Copies of this chain bind each other. A is one copy, B any other.
Amino acid sequence: MPLTLAKLPYEQDPEAIELSRKRLGIRVEKHTPLALQRHLYRPRCPPVLRGAFTVRRASSPQSAMDHDERIKALFPHVHHKPIVEIAFHDGEKPMSIGRPLRLGVLFSGGPAPGGHNVLAGLHDFLASRNISSSLVGFLGGPSGLIEGKYKEITEETLFRYRNQGGFHLLGSGRTKIETPEQLDAAFTTCERLQLDGLVIVGGDDSNTNACVLAEYIAARGGTTCVVGVPKTIDGDLRNAYIEASFGFDSACKLYAEIVSNLALDAVSAQKVYHICRLMGRSASHITLEVALQTHPNLAIISEEVAAHKQTLGMIVDTIADLVCERAALAKNYGVIILPEGLVEFMPDIKSLIQELNEVLAQAPARNGVAAGDAPQNPSEEADEANALGDPDASLVVIRRIAQRLSKESAELLSSLPSAFAVQLCMDRDPHGNVQVSKIESERLVAEMVERELEKRKQEGTYRGKFSAVTHFLGYEGRCGLPSNFDCNYCYVLGLVAGGLVENGCNGYIARATGLTQAPELWHVGGVPLTAMMTIERRKGRDIPVISKSVVDMAGPIFQNFKRERHSWALSDDYRIVGPMQFYGDGADCLTISMQIGD
């Protein structure tokens, strides 16, 4: 006996549920009342997007055309285009029904809340123009485009996904469209499907790829317009042209809720320090936002660590100092947050990792034995060392590796808790590099702080108790129900991307600005992707990239944090966040980062 409606809660709107149920045509008990209700949410958008509109050169163009000469050279077909805006159709001109368009879309990289509403926006744009238009979604990310794997997206396939989380209608992937073969395959798919447009929903890398593909297609004489949509929970796709990437708002709200719960747990039980690492490897936007939302006792920002050249030992001391100060107030508890990429920003660990990558590169990637020290039977030792579970063998290898490092790095390696030393030396990616993303820095820090406090206890400078519980918050924020903001923003970006394709804006990224206003007041349009690009020198080659936005230490967001954080260290004046709401006060509240703006 499945649950029946009669068994459902004692209060809800039966009409709304019945309507959802009819539309979905499925057993209501498979869905929560909330998910059903979200199906009925109608995203808000600027009125200009509701009717016929034109795309025109922006009335107040920014300096989008001040390109680096090297960018011009790399993108002869798509650079030097104007910023465009979407405006009401000029009533004097006759408005014709749009020609039927054929659009492709794909998700690239990690999921972010709101992705399905980009599809909904694209779909609704096409439907509003010409009923014969069609939308295809490539499966599993860019590889679906390369391999020509796709599905038609119709209202029937789409409507269950409106305002819902995840990327699972299409799936996603991290394949890049970079090599000549990949570019050719992508081009072939676009030609074969006769796509008027291809919308790539992704972060900085994926939008760079989108621009490369746009150039490639134009150079080959293709007519598919490639348009990007800014997605990433990390918030590091933000610049003079793009105010926000979608997903950041929803993800931060969940992380902040959890950190705020942990803070109250710490002060309620008064037994432990909760040490949380938060997603966002290259930039600490999430950690900064969560700090502003929750007021933890300590938040470490990678960009500041790098700027002040703070070593692992200095970070450990900072935390140990805080614990001592709080212990003197009889507070043997607290909450500390760290950014995912922290270890990569500490100069000493960074050097160690670089040296390890070099030393390890000399040995076959799989076995972790430096070549110069190869024993009689290398494969045997390799097998042994490979057994990460065998500490005997691992330690032998680590000691051998340490001999090939600089004095400083060797000392640092030997000072690390052994599990981390093993991980650094043994657990490498297919290219033989240290897998930095797998380093659980929250545990590393917790162990080293414990050790430091033990030392201080013996020295008589600390008398408290220290017990740490570690957390990593990341995956749980990537596929939650999108906030009202992300629902609206993604839907608008989808509508805008459709408009850009219709108007032949190849190599553009869709955008909305004025996001702190109500959605009805947003300005919408597009920016050429080349306008956001810079050249980076990598492995002896000039590579065009969209720079990741990192925390601006001079900007108002960080400055706000810097001004307030001292008062958070001892006061336990945690800010209660609670679960994200879709109705009532605060349901349309933006992240603090967005409210302040950099």
Contacts and interface: CB of A to CB of B under 8 A. Distances in A.
Contact of A8 (B1, B517, B573, B589): B589
A528 interface: no
Interface string A1-28: 1110001111111001100000000000
Given A258-B476, A518-B10, A560-B1, A584 B583 contact: yes
Count chain B CB atoms within 10 A of each CB in A165, A274, A479 and give the residue with the most.
A479
Contacts of A550: none
* Contact residues on A (Cβ < 8 Å of other chain), bracket: 35 or more
A150 to B, nearest CB: 16
Interface residue SS majority, chain A = loop
Contacts of A72: none
A140 interface: yes
Given A31-B575, A575-B30, A268 B10 contact: no
Contact of A595 (B3, B30, B572, B585): B3
A165 B471 CA distance: 20
A166 B265 CA distance: 6
B589 A166 contact: no
Interface in A481-496: 481
Given A9-B595, A30-B573, A261 B478 contact: yes
Contact of A479 (B1, B31, B261, B395): B261
Copies in the complex: 2
A287 to B, nearest CB: 17
Contacts of A590: 9-10
A131 interface: no
A35 B165 CA distance: 25
A418 interface: yes
A114 interface: no
Contacts of A167: 268-269
A521 to B, nearest CB: 9
Given A36-B585, A576-B165, A589-B9, A270 B171 contact: yes
Given A268-B479, A389-B419, A589-B12, A577 B32 contact: yes
A469 interface: yes
A309 interface: no
A267 interface: yes
Contacts of A224: none
Given A37-B585, A469-B475, A579-B581, 11 more contacts: A1-B560, A10-B516, A32-B576, A34-B576, A34-B581, A172-B269, A254-B261, A254-B579, A257-B480, A261-B479, A481-B576
